[in-house]
C-alpha cells in the first residue's frame, strides 16, 4: 500500500502545497439510467459491484474526460489525480463514468490514458477561451448560460480537440455527438452536432471569433484574459507587475503542456546515471538538469516511467527543479537538526533527508495527519526514515508548546500557487484576489511560529511556489520589521547566480528558467 500511495504523493508533491481548494462534493447520478442494474454478491475481500450496460459506441477517453471535467469543476477534484492504469483517487476511473453517465465503455488503453491527460488538462487551461467560442456560436447567450454541465463539458472537449489538437473534425463531431446522445438524450446530440459543425466551418475559413485588444486597460485585460484563458484579475495584476509582453509570455507558458523533472533517490543509492540508464531502456526522451545533480527533465513519457514502476520502487520521485533549488537554499548536511514546518506532501522533506546520509534528525510537522502518515510510509520506501520524525500538529500551537530548537528550519508556506499554474491547470479558476489577503495573514502567523524554532545562529528559510511579491519579498520585509533578531543571508553560495535576486533571495521564473515559479529567503538568527 505504501508503494501505491507514494506514487500519488510524489506525482503531486510540488503541485499541491498551495492554499486550500474546494472540498470534494458528490456528483449526482442522472435521474434515469440508460441501463438496468444487477446486484452482485459481496465477498469479504471485495466491495459490492454493480454491473452496468457496456457501451462500445462511445470512445472511452471522451467519456472519462467528460466525467473527469465534471468532477474537477463541480466537485473540487484535482486535475492531476490521474495515475497509472487510469485510476484516480483510489477508484477505477470507469466507476466514475458508470455512476455519472449510466453506462461503462471499454477500459482505457495506454493511448486513451494519454489522451485523457491531454484533453482534461488542455480543456481546463483553455476553458475561458473555449467558453467564449461556444457562447459565440450558440443562438443566444441565455442558451449558453443555462447549459447543463455535462453538455457544456462535451462541447468544451469537442472545441478543444478541433481548435487546439487539430484532430480530424469528422471524428470529433461524430464521437462527441454519440457521447451526448447516450449520456443525455438525442436532442443534446443534435445540439452538439450543429454547434461543432458550425465551428468546423469557421475554423476551415480561418474566421473564428476573437475579442479585440483595444480600449482602456480594463478592456484590454478582459480581451487578454479570453485570448490566453486566465482570470481577469490575474491578467491585470501581471500586466501591472511585469508589463503586457511578459504577462503574455507567462500565460503562454501556463497554457503549454507541462514538463516534469524526476529526482534520483540518492537515499536508496540511486544516481542520476542510474536513472538515465533506465530512461534509455524505456526509450523516454530526457535532458539532464543544468542546475541540480540528481535531476532529469522529461517532457513526454512520464506515464511510461510510472507504468515501469520506477516511482513505486522508490528509485525516483517527481519533483520540480524549482523545489529542488529551495532545498539547496536550506543546504541540509549530515548531522544537522532540521525542522520542516509544513512538510506534507513531503517532496522537500524526503529530498532533504536523502542529503543527510543517515546522520542527524529531520522533524516533519504538518497539521494533516493523513498526509503526514503517507510521508512516513514513503520515507520507508525511500530508505530515509531513519532521520525523519513526523509530528502531526498545527505549527502555531507546536511552536508555543514545545522547546524544540533546530539548526535549520524550513517554512514552505501555503500560498496562492501562482508559480505552478502550468501543472495545476485548475488552480487558476479556483483562486480569487481575496485569497491572497487571507494567505498573507496565514503566512505571517506561520513565519512568527517558525522563528521560535530556530537556534541562535541558526537558519530560517521561508519559501513559496508563488511569483507574487506580496507573498514573497513583502512578507519577508514585514517579518524582519517584527523580528530584528533575524537578517538576510544571501543565497548566492547555494544556487546558481541566475536565480539570485538583487536582495539575495532565490527566485525561479517560469518564462526565464523553464520551470515552476518559486521563491525562498534565507534568514539567520543573530540572537
Task: Please tell me whether residue 417 adopts helix, strand or coil conformation.
Answer: coil
What's the maximum distance between 2 C-alpha atoms anywhere in the chain? 74
Q: How far apart are CA 317 and CA 350, in angstroms?
A: 10
Residue with the three cell numbers 529526482: 263
The response to whether 346 counts as a known ligand-binding position is: yes
Is residue 347 within 8 A of residue 319, CB to CB? The reply is yes
The response to whether 231 counts as a known ligand-binding position is: no
Q: Taking Cα atoms as reference points, which of 175, 161, 52, 163 lies closest to residue 116?
A: 161
The response to whether 95 counts as a known ligand-binding position is: no
The response to whether 345 counts as a known ligand-binding position is: yes
Taking the mean position of all CA atoms in its chain, how far away is CA 175?
Answer: 29
Residue with the three cell numbers 463539458: 153
Residues designated as active site:
465
How many C-beta atoms surround the C-beta of residue 235 within 10 A?
A: 24
Beta-bridge partner residues of 338: 362, 408
The response to whether 107 counts as a known ligand-binding position is: no
Taking the mean position of all CA atoms in its chain, how far away is CA 72?
Answer: 12
Q: How far apart are CA 220 and CA 235, in angstroms?
A: 9
The response to whether 509 counts as a known ligand-binding position is: no
For 119, the enclosing helix (H) or strand (E) is helix 110-125
Grid cell at residue 235: 491578467
Radius of gyration over alpha carbons of the chain, in Å?
A: 24
The response to whether 415 counts as a known ligand-binding position is: no
The response to whether 394 counts as a known ligand-binding position is: yes
Q: How far apart are the first and last CA of the chain?
A: 46
Angstrom CA distances, 448 to 331, 396, 441, 443, stand at 22, 8, 11, 9
The annotated binding site for S-adenosyl-L-methionine is made up of 342-348, 366, 394, 412
The annotated binding site is made up of 342-348, 366, 394, 412
Amino acid at each position: 500500500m505504501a508503494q501505491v500511495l507514494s506514487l500519488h504523493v510524489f506525482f503531486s508533491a510540488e503541485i499541491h502545497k498551495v492554499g486550500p481548494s474546494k472540498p470534494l462534493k458528490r456528483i449526482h447520478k442522472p435521474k434515469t439510467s440508460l441501463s438496468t442494474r444487477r446486484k452482485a454478491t459481496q465477498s469479504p475481500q471485495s466491495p459490492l459491484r454493480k454491473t452496468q450496460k457496456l457501451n462500445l459506441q462511445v470512445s472511452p477517453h471522451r467519456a472519462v474526460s467528460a466525467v473527469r471535467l465534471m468532477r474537477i469543476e463541480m466537485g473540487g477534484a484535482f486535475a492531476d489525480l490521474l495515475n497509472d492504469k487510469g485510476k484516480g483517487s483510489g477508484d477505477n476511473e470507469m466507476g466514475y463514468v458508470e455512476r455519472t453517465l449510466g453506462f461503462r465503455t471499454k477500459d482505457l488503453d495506454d493511448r486513451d490514458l494519454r489522451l485523457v491527460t491531454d484533453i482534461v488538462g488542455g480543456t481546463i487551461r483553455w476553458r475561458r477561451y473555449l467558453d467564449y467560442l461556444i457562447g459565440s456560436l450558440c443562438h443566444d447567450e441565455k442558451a449558453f448560460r443555462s447549459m447543463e454541465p455535462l453538455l457544456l463539458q462535451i462541447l468544451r472537449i469537442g472545441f478543444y480537440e478541433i481548435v487546439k489538437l487539430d484532430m480530424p473534425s469528422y471524428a470529433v463531431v461524430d464521437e462527441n455527438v454519440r457521447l451526448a446522445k447516450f449520456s443525455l438524450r438525442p436532442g443534446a446530440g443534435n445540439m452538439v452536432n450543429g454547434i461543432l459543425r458550425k465551428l468546423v466551418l469557421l475554423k476551415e475559413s480561418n474566421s473564428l471569433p476573437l475579442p479585440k485588444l483595444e480600449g482602456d486597460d480594463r478592456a484590454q485585460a478582459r480581451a487578454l484574459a479570453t485570448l490566453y484563458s486566465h482570470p481577469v484579475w490575474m491578467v491585470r495584476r501581471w500586466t501591472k507587475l511585469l508589463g503586457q509582453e511578459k504577462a503574455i509570455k507567462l500565460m503562454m507558458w501556463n497554457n503549454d503542456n507541462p514538463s516534469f523533472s524526476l529526482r534520483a533517490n540518492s537515499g536508496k543509492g540511486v544516481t542520476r546515471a542510474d536513472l538515465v540508464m533506465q530512461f534509455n531502456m524505456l526509450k523516454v526522451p530526457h535532458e539532464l538538469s543544468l542546475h541540480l545533480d540528481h535531476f532529469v527533465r522529461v517532457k513526454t513519457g512520464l506515464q511510461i516511467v510510472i507504468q515501469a514502476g520506477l516511482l513505486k520502487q522508490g528509485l525516483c520521485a517527481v519533483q520540480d527543479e524549482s523545489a529542488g533549488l529551495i532545498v539547496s537554499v536550506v543546504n541540509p548536511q549530515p548531522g544537522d537538526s532540521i525542522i520542516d514546518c509544513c512538510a506534507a506532501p513531503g517532496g522537500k522533506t524526503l529530498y532533504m533527508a536523502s542529503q543527510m546520509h543517515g546522520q542527524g534528525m529531520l522533524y516533519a510537522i504538518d497539521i494533516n495527519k493523513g498526509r503526514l502518515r503517507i510521508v512516513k510510509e514513503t520515507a520507508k520506501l525511500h530508505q530515509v526514515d531513519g532521520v525523519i520524525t513526523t509530528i502531526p500538529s498545527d505549527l502555531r500551537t507546536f511552536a508555543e508548546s514545545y522547546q524544540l530548537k533546530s539548526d535549520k528550519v524550513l517554512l514552505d508556506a501555503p500560498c496562492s500557487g501562482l508559480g505552478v499554474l502550468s501543472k495545476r491547470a485548475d488552480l487558476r479558476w479556483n483562486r480569487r484576489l481575496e485569497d491572497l489577503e487571507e494567505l498573507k495573514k496565514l503566512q505571517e502567523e506561520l513565519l512568527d511560529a517558525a522563528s521560535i524554532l530556530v537556534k541562535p545562529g541558526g537558519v530560517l528559510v521561508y519559501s513559496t511556489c508563488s511569483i507574487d511579491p506580496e507573498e514573497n519579498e513583502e512578507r519577508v520585509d514585514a517579518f524582519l520589521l517584527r523580528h530584528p533578531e533575524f537578517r538576510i543571508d544571501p543565497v548566492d553560495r547555494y544556487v546558481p547566480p541566475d536565480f539570485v535576486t538583487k536582495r539575495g533571495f532565490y527566485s525561479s521564473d517560469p518564462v526565464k528558467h523553464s520551470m515552476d515559479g518559486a521563491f525562498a529567503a534565507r534568514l539567520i538568527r543573530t540572537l
